[in-house]
Structure formats: C-alpha cells, structure tokens
Structure 1
C-alpha cells in the first residue's frame, strides 16, 4: 500500500460512502474481466469478507490489476527514487539533470555513459523509475541548446535502454504523463501525509524552479483526487444494468463532487506557476521528437542509435495522456468527433496498458446516456446533466490555464517562426481541441446549460 499517510491518518481519497457503493463495485457485470479483477478505489477492511478473499494481499492483487491504488489513485504507489548500483550512471545524471543542463555539459555527460543492460531491471517500480530517468536524460540531451540546436541522433547509451524499457512497460520512449506525473514523486517527511504538497517532491527535475516543480505536483494531485471516481463510474454502470435510478443518481452526484475537487486543484496552478517560466524554460523540454524543430532541421524525427537508422516520431508530454477524464468520458457516454477521438486514441498509446484497458472496459459497458434518456424521473436527468456540467467546467478551467500559460506567452514572444509552439506538446491545436471536447461534453446533456467560458 502506498505510504502516503501515517498509520493514524485517514485514507487520502476518503472512504467510499454507503454500502450501496460497495455492493455495486463487487457485483459489477460489465465486461467479464471486471467481475474478477476490477480495481476498487477504497480502503474498507470489510471488503475482504464481501468479495470472499482470504487475505489483504489477495485484495491488493485485485486492486493492482489496473495499476490503481486505494490510496494513491492512478499514481504509482511506493515509487523507487534510486535504481540499484549497477545503474549509477543513470542515477547520477538523472538526479542532477537540472545542474548539468544549466552548466551546459549534459551532452558530454551522456556521451560518456556505457550501454547498460535493461534486463537488470527486475520489477515494475524499477522499470517505471528507469523510464522516468531515461526520458528525462533524453529530453535534456535533445533540447539543452533549444529548438535550434537539436541533435539528429540520440546516443545508443540512452536510446537502447530507453527503447527496451518502454517496450517492457508498453509505453512510448519519450517523457509522458505516466512517468513524469504518475511516477515522479517521493515523500520528504515520512511522519507527515503526502496530501500536504509541501511534503512531496519530485524525483527527477527539469529547469524552471518552483514553476516546474508545482506544474508536475499539481498534475499528480489532480490524478490522485480523481481516484474514487473509478468506483463511482463502475457504480453508474452497475446501476444501469440493474435499472436502479436511485443508485445511478447517487453515483452521478459522487462523481460530480470528485470532478469539482479536481477543478479546484488544477486552478491552484495559477498561483503556483509563472506562465513565462513555464512557456520559455520548462515547456521546450516537453516537446516531441518529430515536432516542428525536427522538420525545420530536415531530420523528420530523432534517430535512436542502436535501434534503427529510421528517424522516430513521438509526441511530447500532455495532460491528455492522463487516464482520469477519459475514464469519466467513457462512463458518462461522452462521444467526441472523429478528429478528437483519433487524437484520444493516440494519447492512449502514451498511457500504461493497464490504464488503457480500464478505459476500454468501461466503454464496453451499457450506455448511461441511453438509460437516462429512457428514465421519466427528472431528478435522474438533472443528476446526469449536473455531472456533465462539472466535467465541462473542468475542461473550461483547463482551457483558461492553456490560454494563460501557452497562448498569451506565445503572443508576447518575438520568436514566432516555430508554428509548432502554438500547438500543445502532445501535437494538438490545443485551444481548438479543448473547446471541442467541452462542446462534446455539453452536447451530451439533455438540457442546454451555459458554459463557464
């Protein structure tokens, strides 16, 4: 279990209210795989009896099937902060990444590394830390001289293990949300809870000081807060299968509250991060391999030495790689247009396979919207619309962050020749994308409401 709280503290995510939630979760009847292995975001000891498991370890095995923790949500529980001694080259460079970037010698440091054997990594947590470290080293190597000083090749000492580690995890060989937000944290004082953001710090840092630190920490906190929403989403699906409007309304209300808490969390970025520092200092390191600077240089992508002579293209880190909102979309039946759905499918390739499967399994379930449409109870329709409005409001708040941290600095920037900078690091026309996803959310509602933006 994730050591984010001391023994006398309450679960970070809170206890799930009411037996109705517990009954729904463990009797889920959407895709067969969910009946035996769906992870539940709860920490109730009574669960052991209800699902007829013999030990807490058996319960934890079920919870870990989709890499979801009852305490940490989507965050990797108990992440390692140091690899075994064999990998000291990676430890040394990754844990001092910002220093080497600022000293201007990161490429020299990397080029002196040996090609280490990724097979020496023996656990999921070691692989997650290796991916975090290697993607950070790769980003630093590529972008240390800015968009006009990018290299054509990534040295084999980084390229080979990064590629192989990514294959073993089922993710892409570039910095992404699954590593830099979900696996990039450690507790400062073990006697204090990690819910206090001042008691968490990043394992691997990038230039940008407090802005870089809080940008990743607040993303982590948003994903953590979203954790109980998984249980409510499943509860909604089971209520639809059972034709139980009361339980559906209850779960919709709980999910709405969760999304509102997530919105409060992301809004804190405005007071913790400086837009100019984010845009000019941190964001370039988050760009993709194959983005506009590679095109301008005539490279077409980044060659991974020791893997292939063909330039590789990978999108940069993006909040769209978080599983939280896509899981809620799947549960609520929000349908995006073809262009956005194709983009979402691309973003899912940057998620952990277990998180991708969670989204896919929820999408296979019964249609919540169809059920609500057949209900004659106005209370049910209102609960559904209210929950959708909360998701739309979250997207509006995200849109405001993008406007302040990307669009406005871009307009102030005199270097307007790189068209790709106007796009998200994930490769999308970010404002257009966010407005479209918000419209898809409100269009799903039965009664038109006014957007907050």
Structure 2
C-alpha cells in the first residue's frame, strides 16, 4: 500500500506562505516580563559598536520560558536570543567561547521546544525575522519587506535576509502544486503532471530573478567584513578563534563544548523540496554517479550522509519531517521515465531541471562576488601590512588575512597542498559544482541531458578572438594559480579562482 501524500497542516506548512509562518512573526513579545530581551535586541547595533553587549548580557537575569504561549512567541524568543548569542560570541576583539546562563539557559529550552539547534539558523535570521510594510501587499515583494533584527543595522544586512524571505514566499505555491502532481502521477494523469511542471519551471525562473536582486542593496565588502562574521557558527572555526566550539553555561556544572554550523541557505526546506520532488540525487561530495539504486515509489534517492542532509538537522523539526515524508512518496521522475514517449511531459520535466540548474549557476556567480573576490582583496592587502596591523581582531573576516601557520594549508609528505574541508568534511568548490551538475543528471531528453552535463570552458581554448594557446599552456597557468583559503559561514574552505560560498543551494 502506498504511503499517504503529506498534509501540509500536519507539518505547520502554509499553502500560501510555504515554510514561512502562516501567522506573521511577532514584532515584540507581548509579556512585559521579556522586556529586557526586547531592549537588548532593539539596541543590539549600538551595544555591539560600543563593545558593551557582553557586559549587559552578563548582568542580565535568567528569564523563564513559562511566559511563552503561542508558537509565534516561541519563534520570536528564539530569534531574539539567537541574535543576542551570536552578537555576544563575535562582538569582541576575540570571540567568546562561553555563552552565559542568561542566554544559554532559555535558548536551550526554546530550541528544544521548536526542534532547532541553539544557534542563528536560517529560520532565526530569515523565516522568523521579517515583517511586511503594508498588510494589503504580498510578502514576495521585496519592496514590502523589512527585518525585525540585525547585527549591524545596515540596509545590506536586511537585504541579504529579505531576498531569501521573498524567495520563500514566491516559491511557496510550488509545494501544494507538486503534491498535486504526485497525486496525479499516481492516477496516471500525465496532462495534470505536465501542467504542474510548467508552472514549477516558471516559478523557478522567478526565483532566479529574485536571487539576482541581491546586488541591488547588499554591498559585497560590507557583507564580507561586517555581516558575515556574525553569522558564523562554532564548528570548524579554529582559524576564527573558536578551536573547540562554545560552552553553553546551563548551570549543570557538566557543560561541554558544543559545535554547530552557522547560517546557511542549505537550511532552506524549500530548496531541498525542489530536489526531492524532481528526484535529484545529491551524493557525498566527490562521489561519482553509480548505478541507479532500487527505490520505493519514486526516484527520490535514499538518504546518504552528505552536507545537505546534515543541514536538515538545522531546520525546524516539522519541516525536516515533511521532507522525509515527501521523499517517501516522490514519483515524478519515475513517472516521466515511464512515459518517455510523452514529449510535452518530458520537455516540462527537463525545463524544471534546467531552471533549477540556472538558479544554482546564479548562486555560484553571487558567492564569487560576495566571498571569493573580497577574500582575495583582503589577503592581498594583508601582505603589505605588518603583523601588528592585521592582528587587531579575530573573527571570520580577519581569519583569511592572518593565516597562522597550520591553518591555511595542511602539507603532506609529498609537498602537495590538501584542500581544507568545510562543515561535515565538505569541500566548498567541489560541493557547489557537484550540486549544480547533479541537478541536470535526471534529464530525460538526450539533448537536454547533454546540454546540462556540458562543461563550460572559460580558458579561451579554440576561441576565435582569444586564439588557441600553445599546447600545455593552459595547464601551466592553472598550476601556477594560487589557492585562496576562504573561511565560510560555518567553516574554512579552500577556494579556486572563480567560485566560493555564502550559502548552499
């Protein structure tokens, strides 16, 4: 017997807002008991700039969570405390490896209630951290959105979060749409499946357009130097000053260091939903495509240990369970492969793959501008400055400038460089490129499969205007290219010349 198709309400998912809350996030906790939290959040930027945040938090009493009633209140409290926690850790000249009880105790309780880790996740800074400016306008309109909390007060930071919020809202109707397609495939209704895929592809194109708007109000230098350090987690952050992680002082006397990843768009349930319903398999980084495995109802692959699956632990619990449920019923890829003679159906399916691949291509272009290029600039500047000039502050932005011995590169006995690994041992460049390339693998039409599997050549070989380089010249240039070490949001990465990572799609 086939498993039932998920009911959105069972997982707290809205048919109109998707993974965004159906009830808009609270702008303030209603109980005056929590005014101290609200006051700190309202003055977070000033407290960080004046370097007084840690002192204020240290004097803050431990507040009980008994006054939190509705889900919206729990979510508001979680977002507040997450901003306070990351501000506390990263606002000094060097990071703090301890969170005081005033933050740690309630944050741990609230995180357990909401089934999220006690860090600034994608849910804390995006899903539950926005408000519409006009209630009669849609929340997929960037001009109608504002953030509730930021670390810096900069428009750039708000815009960075709000682009993701708008994408979540614009993509929300895809969720019930594709559940309808799954139901139609069970009934062998190819016409309905085709119509759903047409709409899906069009919405994916809309999301790419929204993602491209990141450049409008988020400056790469401000993002790299001022915003990104606060989003860092405590996992693989030795080069940024947290070699062991962070201790959450819960009063038990048995506290141990905890390590968590930082904020990442891989924690977006929406993007992972797209992969699941289309039957896209993301293998552990570096693993080649093998023989298709036997699946249940669909071609949604069996879970493997990789970075994207690791990020499901950072999603709200109900959202992660929803993805697991969808994984058990996904059948679109199987249905299309069984109806290869239905050209409109196959073309519609391949169009969805092409649009999702285009979204990932655009993401690679954005992370190049926001991470790789700024990192190379600061490394170039640091070479001309004295060690004293670059040793003033330790955080994620300064880590690539300082490069203490043993951090930038590991040297093997053969003298070759080992690439640094990121969260869960994932190499950034390999991960991004592999995730993009895997998106096109299920293509049904031969031309579509060939088109999405092509390797774009950028070195100018055989180009009419650039001319064809001498034999071996390209390899020689490549071998001389210096590797850039990029500390990512949640880890450190070794990055090649053209791509890097803010987050993961």
Among 255, 274, 279, which residue is 1:333 paired with? 279
User: SS of the counterpart of 1:251?
Assistant: helix
Give distance in 1, aligned partners of 2:140 and 2:347: 33
Q: Which residue matches 1:182?
A: 127
User: SS of the counterpart of 1:173?
Assistant: coil
Alpha carbons of structure 1 residues 318 and 239: separation in structure 2 relative to 1, 3 Å: same
Gaps in structure 1 of 5+ consecutive residues? 1-28, 40-63
Q: Which residue matches 1:60?
A: none
User: SS of the counterpart of 2:74?
Assistant: helix
Give distance in 1, aligned partners of 2:63 and 2:408: 38
Whether the aligned pair in 1 keeps the contact of 2:97 and 2:242 (CA below 8 Å) is no
1:314 to 2:278 alignment: no
Q: Which residue matches 2:491?
A: none
Two-structure CA RMSD over aligned residues (Å): 2.4
Q: Which moved more, 1:69-78 or 1:118-127?
A: 69-78
Q: Which residue matches 2:147?
A: 202
Report how far residue 298 of structure 1 moved.
6.7
Q: Which residue matches 1:432?
A: 430
Give distance in 2, aligned partners of 1:235 and 1:452: 35
The structure with the largest alpha-carbon Rg is 2
User: SS of the counterpart of 1:118?
Assistant: coil
Q: How does 1:80-119 map to 2 (within 5 A)?
A: 80-83=26-29, 84-119=31-66
Q: Which residue matches 1:358?
A: 322
Alpha carbons of structure 1 residues 287 and 241: separation in structure 2 relative to 1, 3 Å: same
1:221 to 2:166 alignment: yes
Q: Which residue matches 2:469?
A: none
1:237 to 2:182 alignment: yes
Q: How does 1:358-397 map to 2 (within 5 A)?
A: 358-375=322-339, 376-397=341-362
Could you report, residue by residue, the CA deviation over 1:106-142 in whole angstroms, capped at 9, with x for unpaired residues? 1011111000101221111111011100010000000
Q: Which residue matches 2:15?
A: 70
User: SS of the counterpart of 1:246?
Assistant: helix
Report how far residue 299 of structure 1 moved.
4.4
Q: Which residue matches 1:160?
A: 105
Q: Which residue matches 1:50?
A: none
Report how far residue 152 of structure 1 moved.
2.3
Alpha carbons of structure 1 residues 139 and 81: separation in structure 2 relative to 1, 3 Å: same
Q: Which moved more, 1:336-345 or 1:392-401?
A: 336-345
Whether the aligned pair in 2 keeps the contact of 1:30 and 1:364 (CA below 8 Å) is no
Give distance in 1, aligned partners of 2:271 and 2:136: 32
Alpha carbons of structure 1 residues 291 and 94: separation in structure 2 relative to 1, 3 Å: farther
Q: Which residue matches 2:392?
A: none
Q: Which residue matches 2:90?
A: 143
Q: Which residue matches 1:448?
A: 450
Among 240, 245, 248, which residue is 1:304 paired with? 248
Alpha carbons of structure 1 residues 298 and 197: separation in structure 2 relative to 1, 3 Å: closer
Q: Which moved more, 1:357-366 or 1:177-186?
A: 357-366
Alpha carbons of structure 1 residues 279 and 369: separation in structure 2 relative to 1, 3 Å: same
User: SS of the counterpart of 1:303?
Assistant: strand
Q: How does 1:251-290 map to 2 (within 5 A)?
A: 251-290=196-235
Alpha carbons of structure 1 residues 195 and 138: separation in structure 2 relative to 1, 3 Å: same
Report how far residue 67 of structure 1 moved.
2.3
Alpha carbons of structure 1 residues 70 and 131: separation in structure 2 relative to 1, 3 Å: same
TM-score (norm 2): 0.74
User: SS of the counterpart of 1:219?
Assistant: helix
Q: How does 1:16-55 map to 2 (within 5 A)?
A: 31-32=3-4, 34=6, 38-39=7-8
Could you report, residue by residue, the CA deviation over 1:15-66 in whole angstroms, capped at 9, with x for unpaired residues? xxxxxxxxxxxxxx963362xxx12xxxxxxxxxxxxxxxxxxxxxxxx432
1:247 to 2:247 alignment: no
Report how far residue 377 of structure 1 moved.
1.5
Q: Which residue matches 1:128?
A: 75
Give distance in 1, aligned partners of 2:42 and 2:455: 41
Give distance in 2, aligned partners of 1:324 and 1:398: 15
Count how many residue pairs are aligned between Structure 1 and Structure 2: 395
Q: Which residue matches 1:16?
A: none
Give distance in 1, aligned partners of 2:163 and 2:455: 22
